[in-house]
Amino acid sequence: MTHLWQYEHVWLWPAIIMAASILLALIVHKVLFSIGKRLAKRESSVILGSLVSHAEGPTRWIFPLLALMLALPTLPVRSDLVDAVRHVVGLGIIAAVAWVIIFLAEVFSDALYARYRTDIADNLTARRMRTQIAVLRRIFSILVVVVTLAVMLMTFPAIHQLGTSLLASAGIAGLVVGMAMKGTLSNLVAGLQIALTEPIRIDDVVIVAGEWGWIEEILTTYVIVRTWDLRRLVVPLSYFIENEFQNWTRRTSDLLAYVYLSVDYTAPIEELRQEFRRIVEASPLWDRKVCVLQVTDATESTIQIRALTSAADSSKAWDLRCEVREKLITFLQERYPECLPKTRATVRGLPENGHFVGGNPMDVAAREHVAR
């Protein structure tokens, strides 16, 4: 019993010192970030708010680790145990510093985001900057993680010495890893290409694999496309480099909205054109640029009319198309119902008294109904 008490007594004070150091560091962390949150809320600063929100997580680990590092020389234990604990704490600090570097990149991104607004009609520059920042930030984060793991492994003497002997086989190992991660590496390279060449940007309107939607998010290896019915398509980044797709907002966000109507040859084109103009001018969705109604085709029974207008973005263009289509159809129904599409038939051989004679009674009745 006496031996057990002596063993516990040896570790009691070191445990108390480490626990007190961690507790004190957490208290300091809590006080500092409470003050920081109040300042950010009072100043309404984007950078300060982003700094506080992103730094709270990493520093919750850094503060206790630094406190332990400072308390280690005062621990009444053997030096070899202190060295082991110091090594573990050092690994934690290296990881925490990498975390800080990543969150500083996120703070920098938030500061740039605040300068470029996407809530305006023609937000091409803002979407370009947001896309480049998002892709480059994720690539930077991956590089930081890889370098951090390498530094942490180099702190182990056995691994450090082993690195020299493994240098000769590094080329073969790299080739094997590259072949195993071919898809992942191609997507990472595609992400860098997308950031530089910009075939797509965040909030671009695209048609991918027959689906119409918006680019919602560009991640490290794939893209999230939000369709019009709120489904999400997960598309590899390499798809946008290797395959064809439609980008409706590549240069500008404004689009042409068109409506096709098939009407009878007797339809009054000029009155339809005036009504179309009235509908478009009364709509808040029109951007005051394009308003044209033309006859674009003619078949044996109908003529095709195209009503062409414009809107500031894809959502407004879609709503404007629906509005124009509905109101033009209503106009024809109310004012010119006889101009709606119809099928004509020529009946020959009708006698003077207006009745068909002879043949099957059912056929005669049908022909008399057509004649009426």
Domain extents in the chain = 2-115, 153-251, 255-339
Mean pLDDT taken over the chain? 75
pLDDT digits (tens, 9 = 90+) for 279-325: 999 999 998 888 999 999 998 889 999 999 998 887 888 899 999 99
Give me the percent of the chain exceeding a pLDDT of 70: 67
pLDDT digits (tens, 9 = 90+) for 44-100: 666 667 777 767 777 777 788 777 777 766 666 566 666 676 777 778 778 878 887
The pLDDT of residue 82 is 63
Cα distances (Å, whole numbers) of residue 137 to 39, 203, 320, 366? 27, 18, 38, 76
Q: What is the mean pLDDT of residues 257-264?
A: 91
- What angle do the packed helices 79-115 and 46-71 form, to 10 degrees? 180
**Residue 201 confidence (pLDDT) above 60:** yes
- Read off the pTM: 0.48
- CA 5 from centre of chain: 61
pLDDT digits (tens, 9 = 90+) for 312-332: 887 888 899 999 999 999 999
> In sequence order, which residues have a C-beta less than 8 Å from that of residue 198 and are 6 or more positions away?
128, 131, 132
pLDDT digits (tens, 9 = 90+) for 233-244: 999 888 888 888
- Topology given in CATH for the domain delimited by 153-251: SH3 type barrels. (2.30.30)
CATH number of 255-339: 3.30.70.100
The pLDDT of residue 164 is 46
Could you give the CA distance from residue 34 to residue 42 in angstroms, rounded to a whole number?
A: 12
**Residue 370 confidence (pLDDT) above 60:** no
